[in-house]
Amino acid sequence: MSEMPAAARPVRRRVITEEINDEAPRAWAYVCEAASCMSGQAHDITLRLAGRAAEAGLTDVMIKRVGCLGLCAAGPLVEIAETGQLFGHVKPDDVEGIVTALQKVTPTDTRQPQGPFFEKQLRVATENMGRIDPENLDDYIERGGYEALKRVLSEMTSTAVRDEITRSGLRGRGGAGFPTGLKWTTVAKAQGTQKYVICNADEGDPGAFMDRSVLESDPFRILEGMAIAAFAVHATEGYIYCRAEYPLAVARLRTAIRLAQRAGYLGAGIADTSFNFDVQVRLGAGAFVCGEETALIASVEGRRGTPRPRPPYPAVQGLWDCPTLINNVETIASVPTILRNGPEWYAGIGLGKSKGTKVFALAGRIVNTGLVEVPMGMTLREIVYDIGGGIVDGRPFKAVQTGGPSGGCIPAEFLDIPVSYESLIELGSFMGSGGLIVMDDTSCMVDVAKYFQDFCRDESCGKCVPCRVGTTQLYMLLDLITRGEATMDDLAQLERLAVIIQKTALCGLGQGAPNPIFSTLRYFRDEYLAHIVDRVCPAGVCTITPAEVMA
């Protein structure tokens, strides 16, 4: 295997001086260059920081671009690796403080606690996030990258790999929680000479950005995970279906694919074995429904992205009618770590049938908006208050929305429920891909349900009648309620229609579309009644015209 010596390539943005310095650097500054911080001129910060450090004569300091540091609310972020000191809301013009801090770093410094946002997390899928340069293969390898793949290819059979994944208890992180090991085995045993692996990176839930961050921060991990999956299911070709709205993720993925191909981690004869596997990126054109696996397959094939009834499942008849493994970004990102640390280690984390960790995107009225990974079984209270820092302006917590447009709202009384696939379903919500939108008393729950219905209505592909027409009908009813013009008959109609759509729609989008209505009705029926009977919006969000004088 011709792994290029690291020294042969310029790998990091060493502070530019005339002098060449081969010694290990004394201090590192990590600049978050993921999409959120990039929108705050993070790249300028990297350049300015390097420039200022050079002016200050800091030849023993490295400035490194890294992926997401997690605390998006405080972006753009810069971290000093040695001390763990974090600079938030950095502007390109005020890098002076960071330079001063870099000057003070001594070899004896240790990382200081960074507070509960970081301390309470457990990083598996995101272990390299904010640690490595996403466009640097050596950086990835330095942190244990490709160890798992090499071991798989040199020491294990595909059955053994599948067995380890099964024993780890990993379940699909795209939302439904299907056991990953079982899915792999189904594909491996399906009839067919040609098989495919697809990584579903068509993240479309409102408020969700887990997959984007993983792709932007650690793209090699996806390629490694996919290669392992391909080996386990006997596939030779892979596709990453990523939405075009993630240009940075796509660019980094493409760079990573090129680097991995050059280094022999993709293509023919991976890691000096006879195993062949290559990956292509396919762009989605922004249709939410293309996250549904059969629609995604149609889209990869170049057809209109609409779902079809299952069975046959893609594991048996998928891409170009061949057995196809479709896993979500986060599922695939967990694979290398699981194989490196062993399935027992992973199965030891979590709660009940929900093993391991889950990445959540915290959004809404929460202080620490950002990306976190926590062990399954952590309570919502810990996630919202300890990690999330509580509600903005100290307002009272009202509900948390999980699971995107197919999910539901969980009220304050269930804050102490441990989060798992099962517990969320019991509460009428859904794990989903991991978007977690926090709402305070300024949110009207009918309005929230209306928002999600509007989303589903807009994103319906138009194939089946219940979704195409039904979601619009639900939206019209909710609109009537928020305008204070609905009657109790309309509420009954809303509930009846929601059930029919859930039962008759073709795919998950339509079947899940009524879920926000079900859960808000379950926990916040009084708000619906307030709109209908008293004609007031308790949260003061909806504009209700005063009651007419009845003629």
Partner 1 sequence: MSTVFTFRIDGKDVAGSEGQTVMEVAEENGIDIPALCHLEGIHDRGACRLCMVEIAGSPKLAAACMTRITEGMDVTAHSELLLEYRRTVTEMMFVERNHVCAVCVANNHCELQDTAEELGLTHFDLPRISPKVDIDASHRLFAIDHNRCILCLRCVRVCDEIEGAHTWDIMYRGLETRVQTDMGIPWGESTTCTSCGKCVQVCPTGALFEKGRAVARGSKTRRPFLPWMKVVAEERGL
Q: Which residues bind partner 1 (CB under 8 A)?
A: 287, 289, 304, 308-309, 311, 457-466, 468-473, 476, 493, 496-497, 500, 503-506
Looking at beta carbons only, is 460 or 520 nearer to partner 1? 460
Kindly state the smallest distance separating residue 472's Cβ from partner 1, in Å: 6
Confirm if 126 and 333 have CB atoms less than 8 A apart.
yes
Looking at beta carbons only, is 349 or 506 nearer to partner 1? 506
Kindly state the smallest distance separating residue 461's Cβ from partner 1, in Å: 5
Kindly state the smallest distance separating residue 309's Cβ from partner 1, in Å: 4
Which residues on adjacent β-strands are paired with residue 62?
Answer: 14, 28
Looking at beta carbons only, is 425 or 469 nearer to partner 1? 469
Kindly state the smallest distance separating residue 544's Cβ from partner 1, in Å: 20
Confirm if 48 and 75 have CB atoms less than 8 A apart.
no
Q: How far apart are alpha carbons 304 and 296 in whole angstroms?
A: 9
Looking at beta carbons only, is 27 or 532 nearer to partner 1? 532
Other C-beta atoms lying within 10 Å of the C-beta of residue 541 = 14
DSSP state letter for 550:
P
CA dist 331 → 176, 179, 352, 371 (Å): 12, 10, 18, 16
> For residue 49, what are the contacts with CB-CB under 8 A and spacing of at least 6?
29, 31, 63, 78, 95, 98, 99
Kindly state the smallest distance separating residue 289's Cβ from partner 1, in Å: 8
DSSP state letter for 518:
H
Kindly state the smallest distance separating residue 204's Cβ from partner 1, in Å: 14
Looking at beta carbons only, is 200 or 502 nearer to partner 1? 502
Looking at beta carbons only, is 107 or 311 nearer to partner 1? 311
Confirm if 172 and 294 have CB atoms less than 8 A apart.
no
Looking at beta carbons only, is 386 or 459 nearer to partner 1? 459
Kindly state the smallest distance separating residue 244's Cβ from partner 1, in Å: 16
Token pair of 79 as six digits: 């971290």
Token pair of 202 as six digits: 């068509």
Kindly state the smallest distance separating residue 141's Cβ from partner 1, in Å: 43
Kindly state the smallest distance separating residue 496's Cβ from partner 1, in Å: 8
Could you give the 3-state DSSP secondary structure of residue 348?
coil
Kindly state the smallest distance separating residue 287's Cβ from partner 1, in Å: 7
Could you give the 3-state DSSP secondary structure of residue 463?
coil
Looking at beta carbons only, is 5 or 309 nearer to partner 1? 309
Kindly state the smallest distance separating residue 459's Cβ from partner 1, in Å: 7
Helix, strand, coil percentages, rounded to 5, for the chain? 45, 15, 40
DSSP state letter for 513:
T
Looking at beta carbons only, is 205 or 373 nearer to partner 1? 205
DSSP for 202-266 reads ---STT--HHHHHHHH-HHHHHHHHHHHHHHHT--EEEEEEETT-HHHHHHHHHHHHHHHHTTSS
Burial 142-158 (b: 16+ CB within 10 A, else e): eeebbebbbebbeebeb
Kindly state the smallest distance separating residue 462's Cβ from partner 1, in Å: 3
Name the packing angle between helices 180-189 and 219-233 (round to 10°).
Answer: 50
DSSP state letter for 277:
B
Sort 345 into a burial class: Cβ within 10 Å, 0-12 / 13-18 / 19+.
middle
Other C-beta atoms lying within 10 Å of the C-beta of residue 309 = 9
Looking at beta carbons only, is 86 or 517 nearer to partner 1? 517
Looking at beta carbons only, is 304 or 395 nearer to partner 1? 304
DSSP state letter for 366:
B
Looking at beta carbons only, is 398 or 457 nearer to partner 1? 457
Nearest to 346 by CA among 170, 150, 224, 181: 170
